[in-house]
Structure 1
């Protein structure tokens, strides 16, 4: 369509597809409805369409009826006609012209009103004159406020114009706007200077509603410099946010507001059945109205809040007495003893030993059910209801809440319990444990909360178990945030010693697990001995933080060693164990490991799906987004879209940088560079892969099997016109990979050397190196690497004009990619095959006949006799065909016929 912008303007982020769909719907005259809940961006999208229309110099009229206009007949038409130049009315017949003057109140209105048909003809005529044979766009925003008389006339004349009706709800054909994705929300918030670590929190709080996200983003931007707020896991509900949400809630009648409030108080247990039993017989109708406003979502019987800020605001603005009454009602209506106990506990703020004990029992039930996040919340509530005369019991309940929250990654409960411990505990050891928990829930932004660890270290003096934990966290900080692996290894060693002194097999195992990881990265040969010691100390998968499990590290080592089947089995076992325990939030870490396995073995659809699942889980946890975007980028790079992979990796690189997370900065750089290499942006690939190499060098990384940038960088350098530098990278890392026996790294370096030989003109050596690497990659089960190597071989052969060989290599690569579900790679192979076909010279008639005879098995002498030519002529023709088609043997002639 002429003159249409490809990307929305200004704050209209994430609406490219919707904008294109709206333009398509408006391509022909008639009515188009744009619908969606308040704050979703309907008016902004309509304004973008208007701007595009005006950029093409096509006429636009836009009216904005308001609530007061609904009961005023023809108010909408009066607003519309006032936008049309008066002189155009002179072209109308006199009866129609008189009617327009009266409708605009320039002449007295006749007592009997006016003829409806004359009115329609007048409006149609004026719109036609205003259009002046060009497409006329008429926008009505908000169409729900249009009076009935005006709506009827516009409906009657809409066949001749492009009518866009903007409203919240509609029947019939419509384009409905949904919430933004987390990536689009990040783009929307970019102009506010909001750090990426806040994006997932704003997304969770806003549910992807653009207006709400902007308000919450402004609040977050004001608070992001406060370490306590940054670590809280949530965005404060500011007065502007509360005012906007209350405005939306006020559109519901009071009975419906009460139903939605009951759903908010019921939490995850909210169902339409529960709400009906709680005295809301019209719950279904009320929820339908609330869903139309985007306040709730109903899936079968389950009721949820897409934007947590709506739920939180609704609870905050309700008087405590009213909340208490509704909790009591919900307790009676609930058929579950856990939910009944929770509601009873919330129905009063008074200490009650019996109530506290009941809540503690409910927490135990939750723990057995695998809902440890709920157990943490109930223990926090039980501690709050514990009488002041029982301080030891209260502290025990808070410590229990900390343990459950730590396992289930329940950030709000962990912070509430930790802060309560710090207010009440007199024992420095108890205070140290609370600070350690708060520090662990800092996400990737560990440096911003370093004082917590310093205070915990001081309070842990004389307690070897706590000192073990402190040094373990110091090791993690040194690794992730400072990139100082030798210091990280020293802290891990001290942590293991303190764990042994405390007679804690678990603490010693956790420390040795981390130490083995650092030893491997540093290229030390003792790492497996260290890991085996860790496993021998913990044979029951008993780690409360799965990222510190020696079994997870064992699975990572298996992947790095190309023992992919073993790595997959260990990882799937870990995931099953986490799900059995109900620690679904902790599944993220092994899921990311499983994704890397799938990416290597060519299970591309699975890798893509895991990337999306990781993003959803981290958004639900309001966690650091850098690791999530790395997983999203890897999934897209493998089985989705190169463009999306580059976008995710670039965002992840920025987010990890803001969190001082060197590990995921490097990983996102790596995926970004690999994606640019695949897309043919060799300069960009060199820049990002070189930066990745620099970061690893600064961290002292020796083992090249962990983040395999070495062969990718050498390949990018060769293709960007720097084969000498590529050769230096290969020469630097080949001895290291040989010493450490990293076979797949050696194969990647051989592949890069093949590319170097190809760009240097030695296609025979390149073919040998690339073919050999492809075969050996296949032997290791690295099917994606085999297919990528075949693709590079085909590209090299095509440039060397060896077209038959190129097409054979490219077809093999394409088949492999397609079978593995590698969508972007299949498209890339198709593109290269088209190049091969386009560059393929044709056969003349005599040449084709000769090839057919030879392929059929005739000798040169027999072909000469059949074609009545001399043998020398036959030989000359075959030589010319070989040269023209890049053939090297008689057996390849068949490929010329297959074309």
Structure 2
């Protein structure tokens, strides 16, 4: 059976594999590993040969014999040439094992000697089949064939004959063929029946960027990379050629013009272009400069014979659509670019001039007018500025930036507004569109000549904003921009707003950031700059929310007062976003989802890429807290894709995607993304996001079962946030994870301290969900101290509270913890019904006003049933049901592992265990104690939320410290103490 699969390659790029083809590699490896064959197909330049060589190099090591051939167009007419490439070097090895007639036929075909009739008969077909079987008898055979489209007909027929009859013979084929569409079926005749056909698709923009960086073309802006991706159509060969030409060309193309096409690529299409009539070529040139060319547009531009001339181009393969249809589409973007690059400058201007009146859209008419005009012209500049404003209103800031640059180019000296004012507007549009490299370059160019304070401060603001989270990189800018601002309150407001961000990101000082934001809002009000005032108030509100400052709700109301600025209203640092953060942290999940969904829709309409990246992440966070792990994972991955494409918010998106992967995806990916996020934050000097990244890392370690690693990461988060002055536990929600990990490694006292300190802030701020999670952690502390019934009662209350608050994943985690406690036998001497005893220190410190289960759990303990809870597998069934509802696959796997491990064995008396294990560290004592109970390494790993490897390493240290050699000796040691 032939299997076909099309791939949309992952955006991730790893240096140890061919860039952009990781999923393809996995599928090919799986197919070859199962004994099947692989056919790679796709258009010229898509990377088939590169992938073929890489797969052959990796998988060829497992084969005893590797046969290779690589056909060329110039040799495709030579019969049996591919057969000679394949068998020429192994003929002596198999010749003696073939019947005489077959041997003679094969030798005749490979050498060209002997009777020609033998070459064409059944003997030759059987000879190829027998030769492959003979080679396979000595070990697996891998046949690697590139460019099957040029395979000579005789060789293709023989290989097809053999391939269809190999059956279970260990002969596999790895082939590549050039195809423009899906027409690869005819090449499967030369492949075994169980062949996987894999189409190599075009690269994404991120993959093109990674490829260019890998080849050393690192000086290209993101805008240029975007144009390379569009012009190349995602073809890696074309992209590399365009990148090479642009890196060697000191003069970039004018705004709005196609990229210059190097001679190496022009040659691919020039032959066909030369076959066009002169008039048809001019018609196609007009089509090449049109945004959405149609037959009607070409007629309006004066191309009276457009239908016939398009039909001629379509017959030559230059146009991809029916020439009778309304749209005119080139077969590949490179054809259009090459046509434009070859045209004389005068003809290009004529084509643009024709469309400057024929195009129906005012933006397109203005662009063509600019490209048809040489020199400065105030009327042209004004029309372009108007078109840029229209594009901005339509939600196309990237187009607005391009038009703004064209307007600046055509603005005469002394005009008002001047060329630099229009350049700065273009830079601000580029920031909105996420093209930060372009924005920074424009601003720095303006700064080389601008003298007016307003222009200089405006340019400095672009430079600072283009730095993103890496504000430390532009630290030296602030003294200069303060000097340029002088005593103008309007300009000073903008500077102090950025200083507020510096205080937060670089200094990690929330109090300083809040003071700077408040000062900026005051200055902006004095200077009648409502936009800056609103942004500063929104920033102040967000800072107060994260600090747990009581003024946060009041400041949010001030930021939401009329008159509002439409841009600020939907900006990711605006008042709407500040309100969303407050709702999310206040456990108002449905309202938070409504707000962020509306904001996301608006920024997508406006083309605000940076805000879209952040709002995708915010919505993912909301869904994650609600327990919709699958939805959260999809949104987080989309946010990360956008971040990688635009270079905006990479660390933050990687952090949130890590949390989503650990909850609903793959834990290994979660760990890698959390480390990536931490590296970004470290590089940027961003202490605030470093704490978030480390919190994600700690959570991923906890889900992976490595409690000790989770403790290391989360302890650092605690230190960082204490230094930053972050007191609202709803911001990162890592405190419960730290307490649970501490219980798992035996640090019970520290776990209780984390619960007590955090509970104080959560009670003050009314963070109900945080209080519930803290009570879950405290229940584990109680269980570790032997207060089993109180722990079970407390967890039961916590699960109910989390369900009412709408925190689905936390509810499921609580059900899982409850199942573990209910299926764990009560330790000897543990208190029974009515004898729960005093609660651990601090357990009820919240007092009667607490809404947490610290007091509820203690009160309920007396009503718990005596003896171990009578719940069997159904306890885990409930946890599994809740995790499935959340699509929390990693947690579901933990449930399955716990069920497989079975119930724990009754432990020996605690006093005797402690005596036997004196001198061991906390984790070592826990592992050794479970060994004494008879637990296997797998059971210990499941009980302690650590990996089996960690159990093994810990036992090795126990053996060394106790002077013993095996787990049996641990049991004997305990028995010896018991006998005494």
The two structures have a TM-score, normalised by structure 1, of 0.78
Q: What is the CA distance between 1:713 and its match in structure 2? A: 0.8
Q: 1:28 to 1:678 in 2, by over 3 A?
A: closer
1:478 aligned to 2:513?
Answer: no
Q: 1:431 to 1:625 in 2, by over 3 A?
A: same
**1:259, 1:687 → 2: CA distance?**
68
Tell me the residue number matched to 1:176. Answer: 199
**1:85, 1:164 → 2: CA distance?**
21
* Corresponding residue SS for 1:547: coil
* Corresponding residue SS for 2:507: coil
- Which residues of 2 match residues 471-510 of structure 1 at below 5 A? 471-510=496-535
Tell me the residue number matched to 2:72. Answer: 66
Task: For residues 44-74 of structure 1, give each alpha carbon's deviation from its aligned partner in whole angstroms, at most 9, with x where no partner exists.
Answer: 5434543455443432212222333223222
Q: What is the CA distance between 1:9 and its match in structure 2? A: 9.4
Partners of 2:67 and 2:143 within 8 A in 1: yes
Tell me the residue number matched to 1:164. Answer: 174
Q: What is the CA distance between 1:96 and its match in structure 2? A: 4.2
* Corresponding residue SS for 2:175: strand
Match of 1:42 among 41, 45, 48: 48
Match of 1:578 among 589, 600, 603: 603
Q: 1:209 to 1:644 in 2, by over 3 A?
A: farther
Partners of 1:402 and 1:414 within 8 A in 2: yes
Task: For residues 257-306 of structure 1, give each alpha carbon's deviation from its aligned partner in whole angstroms, at most 9, with x where no partner exists.
Answer: 99999887556x578997999867269969988999xxxxxxx9797999
1:281 aligned to 2:304?
Answer: no
**1:781, 1:368 → 2: CA distance?**
39
1:813 aligned to 2:879?
Answer: yes
- Which residues of 2 match residues 775-854 of structure 1 at below 5 A? 775-800=800-825, 804-805=870-871, 807-835=873-901
**2:313, 2:633 → 1: CA distance?**
37
Q: 1:131 to 1:402 in 2, by over 3 A?
A: closer
1:531 aligned to 2:539?
Answer: no
Tell me the residue number matched to 2:949. Answer: none
Q: 1:166 to 1:332 in 2, by over 3 A?
A: farther
Partners of 2:56 and 2:174 within 8 A in 1: no
Match of 1:129 among 134, 141, 156: 134
Task: For residues 865-893 of structure 1, give each alpha carbon's deviation from its aligned partner in whole angstroms, at most 9, with x where no partner exists.
Answer: xxxxxxxxxxxxxxxxxxxxxxxxxxxxx
**1:467, 1:618 → 2: CA distance?**
31
Tell me the residue number matched to 1:562. Answer: 587
Tell me the residue number matched to 2:151. Answer: 146
Q: What is the CA distance between 1:375 and its match in structure 2? A: 2.6
* Corresponding residue SS for 2:508: coil
Tell me the residue number matched to 2:633. Answer: 608
**1:415, 1:130 → 2: CA distance?**
63
Larger mean Cα displacement after TM superposition, 552-561 or 130-139: 130-139
Structure 1 unmatched ranges of 5 or more:
1-6, 223-228, 293-299, 842-899
Partners of 2:651 and 2:681 within 8 A in 1: yes
Partners of 2:658 and 2:700 within 8 A in 1: no
Number of corresponding residues: 811
**1:287, 1:378 → 2: CA distance?**
35
Tell me the residue number matched to 1:445. Answer: 470
**1:395, 1:202 → 2: CA distance?**
25
Larger mean Cα displacement after TM superposition, 634-643 or 278-287: 278-287
Q: 1:742 to 1:91 in 2, by over 3 A?
A: closer
**1:399, 1:203 → 2: CA distance?**
21
Q: 1:199 to 1:60 in 2, by over 3 A?
A: farther
Tell me the residue number matched to 2:87. Answer: 81
Instruction: For CA contacts below 8 A with separation 6 or more, give which structure has more relative contact order.
Output: 1
Task: For residues 618-645 of structure 1, give each alpha carbon's deviation from its aligned partner in whole angstroms, at most 9, with x where no partner exists.
Answer: 3443324222222333333344333333
Partners of 1:200 and 1:618 within 8 A in 2: no
Q: 1:381 to 1:198 in 2, by over 3 A?
A: closer
Q: 1:288 to 1:578 in 2, by over 3 A?
A: farther
Task: For residues 794-847 of structure 1, give each alpha carbon's deviation from its aligned partner in whole angstroms, at most 9, with x where no partner exists.
Answer: 1233344757536444333333333344444444444544555x8899xxxxxx
Q: What is the CA distance between 1:705 and its match in structure 2? A: 1.7
Larger mean Cα displacement after TM superposition, 540-549 or 163-172: 540-549
**1:327, 1:305 → 2: CA distance?**
22
Larger mean Cα displacement after TM superposition, 184-193 or 827-836: 184-193
Q: 1:655 to 1:141 in 2, by over 3 A?
A: farther
Task: For residues 180-218 of structure 1, give each alpha carbon's deviation from its aligned partner in whole angstroms, at most 9, with x where no partner exists.
Answer: 6799899989999999x9999979966877778999999
Q: What is the CA distance between 1:31 and its match in structure 2? A: 6.2
Larger mean Cα displacement after TM superposition, 327-336 or 625-634: 327-336
Q: What is the CA distance between 1:767 and its match in structure 2? A: 1.0
Q: 1:153 to 1:803 in 2, by over 3 A?
A: farther
Q: 1:740 to 1:284 in 2, by over 3 A?
A: farther
Q: What is the CA distance between 1:395 and its match in structure 2? A: 4.4
Tell me the residue number matched to 2:973. Answer: none
* Corresponding residue SS for 2:572: helix
RMSD of Structure 2 on Structure 1 (CA):
4.6
Q: What is the CA distance between 1:614 and its match in structure 2? A: 1.6
Task: For residues 568-589 of structure 1, give each alpha carbon's deviation from its aligned partner in whole angstroms, at most 9, with x where no partner exists.
Answer: 3332333344345454653333
Match of 2:702 among 677, 697, 700: 677
Q: 1:661 to 1:545 in 2, by over 3 A?
A: farther
**2:271, 2:873 → 1: CA distance?**
65
* Corresponding residue SS for 1:138: strand
Q: What is the CA distance between 1:238 and its match in structure 2? A: 13
Q: What is the CA distance between 1:712 and its match in structure 2? A: 0.8
- Higher-helix-fraction structure: 1
Q: 1:275 to 1:156 in 2, by over 3 A?
A: farther
Q: What is the CA distance between 1:436 and its match in structure 2? A: 0.9
Larger mean Cα displacement after TM superposition, 612-621 or 92-101: 92-101
Partners of 1:53 and 1:59 within 8 A in 2: no
**2:654, 2:437 → 1: CA distance?**
24
Larger mean Cα displacement after TM superposition, 244-253 or 539-548: 244-253
* Corresponding residue SS for 2:534: helix
Partners of 2:64 and 2:141 within 8 A in 1: yes
* Corresponding residue SS for 2:176: strand
Q: What is the CA distance between 1:467 and its match in structure 2? A: 1.2
Q: What is the CA distance between 1:164 and its match in structure 2? A: 2.4
Q: What is the CA distance between 1:778 and its match in structure 2? A: 2.1
Tell me the residue number matched to 2:673. Answer: 648
Partners of 1:11 and 1:188 within 8 A in 2: no
Partners of 1:686 and 1:716 within 8 A in 2: yes
Partners of 1:259 and 1:283 within 8 A in 2: no
Q: 1:31 to 1:545 in 2, by over 3 A?
A: closer
Partners of 2:471 and 2:506 within 8 A in 1: yes
1:467 aligned to 2:492?
Answer: yes
Tell me the residue number matched to 2:917. Answer: none
Q: 1:243 to 1:30 in 2, by over 3 A?
A: farther
Tell me the residue number matched to 1:398. Answer: 423
The two structures have a TM-score, normalised by structure 2, of 0.72
- Which residues of 2 match residues 196-595 of structure 1 at below 5 A? 265-266=289-290, 269=292, 281=310, 323-328=348-353, 331=356, 334-388=359-413, 390=415, 392-411=417-436, 414-415=439-440, 417-419=442-444, 421-422=446-447, 425-536=450-561, 538-539=563-564, 541-543=566-568, 546-579=571-604, 581-583=606-608, 585-595=610-620
